[in-house]
Amino acid sequence: MKKFYIFIILCVIAFGLTAAFIAYIRHANEESLARQEAQWSQEKAEILAELEALKIRMDELKTNVPEQDSPELEPKALIARFREMKDWIELFGDTVDPLSKIRGIKPLTNEISKTKCHDQLEESFFIFQGLQNQGDKSLDAIRDYLTSGDNIVLYDYSRYVAPSNRTYTIPVVTTNIPLNRFKRTVYNIDPVPETSRLGLIYTLGSIKTPAALELLYQSMQSSRNLREIISAGNFLLEADKGSFAQPVLAVYKAYFPVCDREEQNSLLAYIKRISEKDFNEIVQALTPFDEDGKLSMDIFSLKMDNLGEAGIPFAYETFNRPDVTLTEKINIVDTVRKFIGSNEQANSMFTNLLDGLTGLDKDWIGSVFIKNITENTKEKEKQQQFLNLLSNLPLKQDDPSFFLETVELMKETLTQKIEQGENFDEKEYQHKLISTEYSNRMSQKYGSFTVMRYSNTNLVNTVMQIRGEW
């Protein structure tokens, strides 16, 4: 019994010592953590103090930039420098020989003039940077210039020649000018503004204050230059797409009717980026015929791409117009090619196109159409549809032999593709074309066709495009 009490006493002592040791360790850890927290708090306070001091210093420097006692750096004085400049090409007017002037050629060969042009370009960047540094204080001067209608061509990409003592190259521009001052947007704005007005638009896009963006929008509304409108719109969308998407879209849509065909094609791409719905509405309302009834294939193709199979009746009607040319018929059939075999009107346009061809036209154009559709028809259902179309093709006794050979060869190829499916050997098929010299004869036909049709460049280019894309 005595031993038991001794054991109990020893256990109590051991427990007490353990508890005391644990308490000691906990206390030591708490003190260490408190010291570390105090040290961290002090370091944090010091860092925040340094950051605050730097911020104050930066604000002072920023504030002091436009406050320099230099009248020549005032926004109005900077803008006035543009009115002393000359257009890029104007600087070369007196250096062109008389014969070149008669021909309308202005070769940029005079070293002094080249140097002046690039000095002027460098000065324009100095002006843009000075205006950007002064922020909203520059807006009145910029507004006055933009509303005045004044504009200077600072840089002409199409006529670029560098002076021999400068390191300028195109299309990658390498200069001592800070070209990244006006960074590219996702819409690929040129880093070097071609005109003073574009440069000021870039400047407003770099300032980015609410007042600058408002002026940018105003300039976009009043401009009648597509480059300026698109550039301003890009900057506004980049700055605040949520607020400016609809206003920018409204300007694009208002300007669209007064564009020429080429500008409309470009503007539609920007409209589509903002609103697929508005893009579709505009495209579906477009007429591909101008005032003289001439067909614009760019607009027609765009309309057909948008409408899909629903546009085939319109394409059919256009194909059967009495004034449609062979080139236009080729393009029209090209726009519905993925529906050939499955759509009756598409089939009719295809067969009527072939039926209307004669001689070398049928040998070459007809063979190219049939061969390319056959080789690029992958789905089994489409292959069967096109095989049925070729099998019912209205052939004539006087049809060129190479055209007839192409029809039979492609019918055989389609039959093999349908029967063999994924096991169809493409290499064996190409080897067959080579072994029968079909490919060589196709090349010869192309050569004869090109010589015969050399005066009809559009037709040759169209056929070449079809041959490359199908």
pLDDT in tens, 443-461: 777 666 555 444 344 444 5
* pLDDT at position 156 over 80: no
Q: Among candidates 433, 326, 320, 316, which has minimal Cα distance to 374? A: 433
Integer angstrom CA distances of residue 297 from 264, 290, 291, 321, 356: 13, 11, 15, 14, 20
In this prediction the pTM is: 0.59
Please state the rounded mean pLDDT for residues 178-188: 34
| Residue where the block lists tokens 């002006």 | 127
CA distance 451 to 57: 75
**Who's near 282: CB < 8 A, 6+ residues apart?**
253, 256, 268, 271
Residue 162: pLDDT band (50, 70, 90) is: very low
Give the dihedral of Cα atoms 23, 27, 28, 31; nearest 10 deg: 170
With 80 as the cut, is the pLDDT of residue 163 above it? no
**pLDDT confidence of residue 245:** 93
- Spans of all domains in the chain: 70-207, 341-469
- The pLDDT of residue 259: 82
Does position 272 have pLDDT exceeding 60, yes or no?
yes
Distance CA 130, CA 132 (A): 5
pLDDT at 420 over 50: yes
**Do residues 279 and 272 lie in contact, with contact meaning Cβ atoms separated by under 8 Å?**
yes
Q: For 30, how many CA atoms within 13 A lie in the half-sphere containing its CB? A: 6
Pseudo-torsion of CA 358, 361, 363, 367, nearest 10°?
A: -120
pLDDT at 338 over 60: yes
The CA–CA distances, whole Å, from 308 to 261, 267, 312, 434 equal 22, 21, 7, 37
SS3 (DSSP) at 295: strand
Confidence of residue 468 (pLDDT cuts 50, 70, 90): very low
Tokens for 212, please give them: 């600058």
